[in-house]
Structure 1
Amino acid sequence: MTLNSAARESPALSSTDLHAAATVVDGSTVIELSDAHLDRIRRGGVTAVNHTVTAPYANTTTALREVNRCRRWIDAHADRAMLALSVADIERAKAEGKEAVILGPQDTEMIGVDLDLLGTFYDLGVRILQLTYQRQNLLGAGCGEDVDAGLTHKGRIFVAAMNELGIAVDVSHCGQRTGLDAMEASSTPVVVTHSFCDAKSPHIRAKSDAFLRRLAEQGGVIGITTLSGFLYHPDEPTRRPDLTRFVEHVHHVVEVAGVDHVAIATDYDETLTEAMRAEQLKDKEFKSLLGDWKWEERRAIGMDDAGSFPNFTEALLAGGFSPADVTKVLGGNWLRVFGEAWSPAGR
């Protein structure tokens, strides 16, 4: 990628036209099952979202109920939404002007190490699955643990089963060693659906340059979030980040890993209310994780909600990315890695 090459490549192409032509994917979000959500998605030109369909640490029964609730909502809104089980489904959603919902739980505790249950969740539509959420479980360590002993023996068996079924392995909240072990164990590219660069904004949830280089070697993709607590400026920690800061993180991934390995993931929870947020901030661990940002400042300037997605295209073009590379970051890289992870050999 050459800075300021966008104008030279296609001087007549507007950011609006580029955004409309691209298949835009949000690599991680919690969607509100409502018409208001669908309106935001349409306004933002978003084709597909990776939806955290079950709350972290949910038990099996609760997780099954949450998956069922989401499936019934999709069925009831078939004119505007559809379940994404393949890249072809996402492409069809783009062609038909619908939202493709990918089911992507951020935890495996509802499954444990029961591979029959893993198959059941696959049959119900799960296509992305995060191995751990902050803490240690039967598969490996979360990034919130003081000690990360890596992927367990059961974890390696579990990853192999995910590969065989065609579920993308997500290591966003995993500890570094557990994430690296997952890349070693997985026969398909591993994804970091929502994170950011430790070199730019040091944090237990961020990924190091060494991690990013290995991710690229393995063919994976990292989605850069736009939460203020993650894109913070170390030298000005109270300064609210904007989309220029997001682009800085994207540039860093490109420099370290290449443009084929970075994408977008807002990490927004549409179901969160201001009152719920106030309760969360009473927890010291949570407060240290996301920072003590005011409700109206919790998200980066320029990305208030899914309706603001065209601002990503404008910011990436302004940051010197070519139209072809912007298309990759908006969703093309997600489509490539999903296609590889969801298409196991022999199927």
Structure 2
Amino acid sequence: MTPDQIIDGLQCGHFDRDSFVNLKAAGVHGVVVTCGFWEGTLESLDSLGRWRDLIRENSDVAAFGYTPEAIETAAAEGKVAAILGYQNSNLFEGRIRLVEMWAELGVRVVQLTYNNQNELAGSCYEAEDSGLARYGREVIREMNRAGILVDCSHVGNLSTLQAIAASEKPIAVTHANADSLFAHKRNKTDDVLHALRDTGGVIGVAAYRNITGDYFSGPIENWCEMVAKTVDIAGIDSVAIGTDRSHNFTAPDYAWMRMGRWTRGVDYGAASAARPGKAPPPDWFQSLTDMQIIPNGLRSVGFSEEEVAKITHGNWLRLYGETFRKSNS
């Protein structure tokens, strides 16, 4: 892959052919896709089936990214590699043996919790972070063995630190920012970013306005300034891209994402009563094809060619290489 080719650590929504065409035009040749938020095992299998149909029907522009080599092959062939991920662990339904089975079906990234505390760990939105549960430690061990990357983007900071310590392989925060740069419950404290740095983990810097703030959502140079400041905290080998961009979302999709089936009330997720609906995209990121300006944006704030390559795709490829393969232990 060239420095101007991009891997995005997380996007969500209803992908279609135009999604892949536009990502390809922007130089994005790998993206972790969100196959589910609150769904259990059967619904998650339905989602996986739909993804298989989608890739099959668009095989001229899309492929599955089960391995780093498959992602690089997709790039060489002018395709976008879809890396299968879930933003919650509900697909396991408390069954430790399902972890390996999901890995065998091609799932490569799973977030321990979404917006609520669950049986694995505490969420970033709970009043108190419960920390990593016994079952959470078992799931992490099994994910390490089966070849699934542990994601802690919506996980509480204490639980994230404990997950990093418990994991035999480096973990990811696929889509979040540094709390010290923009204070938000979804963002990660510096001690978490230091722990990622010290263990080979990676944070994907997000472009979601609710957790990025208006200043860093301005021109591309402003967002790349956030990337540079994150590198100052976490190191050049632990910072990548995780835009959290959504595809074809409507009001019911946002309601499901934020409220699922767990409440009769209103929950704003990362939004607020003052800004309850869809957050305006960053000024520089009005369409998917705008991602093509990221590499030059990084250069404009002082990153070298080697550093641009690490941020745009190299750090993700390195992490995928360390985590996507099944272990014998």
TM > 0.5 fold call: yes
Deviation at 1:271, TM superposition (A): 2.7
Please name the residue that 1:252 is paired with.
229
Structure 2: tracts of 5 or more residues without a match: 260-264
C-alpha distance in 2 between matches for 1:110 and 1:82: 23
Deviation at 1:33, TM superposition (A): 3.2
Retained in 2: the 8 A contact 1:240–1:297?
Answer: no
Retained in 2: the 8 A contact 1:136–1:142?
Answer: yes
The yes-or-no answer on 1:207 pairing with 2:184 is no
How many residues align? The count is: 324
Please name the residue that 2:67 is paired with.
86
C-alpha distance in 2 between matches for 1:180 and 1:166: 21
Deviation at 1:277, TM superposition (A): 5.3
Residue type of the alignment partner of 2:16: S
CA separation of 1:288 and 1:253: change in aligned 2, threshold 3 A: closer
C-alpha distance in 2 between matches for 1:265 and 1:110: 22
Please name the residue that 1:271 is paired with.
248
CA separation of 1:241 and 1:295: change in aligned 2, threshold 3 A: farther
CA separation of 1:58 and 1:302: change in aligned 2, threshold 3 A: same
Deviations 1:126-174 (A, max 9, x none): 0011000011111111111111121111110110000001110000000
1:29 to 4, 7, 11: 11
Retained in 1: the 8 A contact 2:182–2:211?
Answer: yes
C-alpha distance in 1 between matches for 2:108 and 2:132: 21
Runs of 4+ that moved beyond 3 A: 19-23, 239-242, 274-285, 287-297, 344-347
C-alpha distance in 2 between matches for 1:279 and 1:133: 12
Deviations 1:30-63 (A, max 9, x none): 1533221122112101100000012x11122111
Retained in 2: the 8 A contact 1:254–1:262?
Answer: yes
Deviation at 1:113, TM superposition (A): 2.5
Please name the residue that 2:94 is paired with.
113
2:134 to 109, 128, 153: 153
The yes-or-no answer on 1:162 pairing with 2:162 is no
Aligned identity (percent) is 31
C-alpha distance in 2 between matches for 1:210 and 1:89: 34
Higher radius of gyration, 1 or 2: 1
Deviations 1:72-126 (A, max 9, x none): 2112222221111110100110111111100010000121331222222112110
**19-28 vs 208-217, greater mean Cα deviation:** 19-28
Please name the residue that 1:4 is paired with.
none
SS at match of 1:210: helix
Retained in 2: the 8 A contact 1:224–1:262?
Answer: yes
Please name the residue that 1:175 is paired with.
156
CA separation of 1:153 and 1:312: change in aligned 2, threshold 3 A: same
Retained in 2: the 8 A contact 1:192–1:221?
Answer: yes
C-alpha distance in 2 between matches for 1:276 and 1:58: 13
1:137 to 118, 124, 134: 118
Please name the residue that 2:282 is paired with.
300
SS at match of 2:209: coil
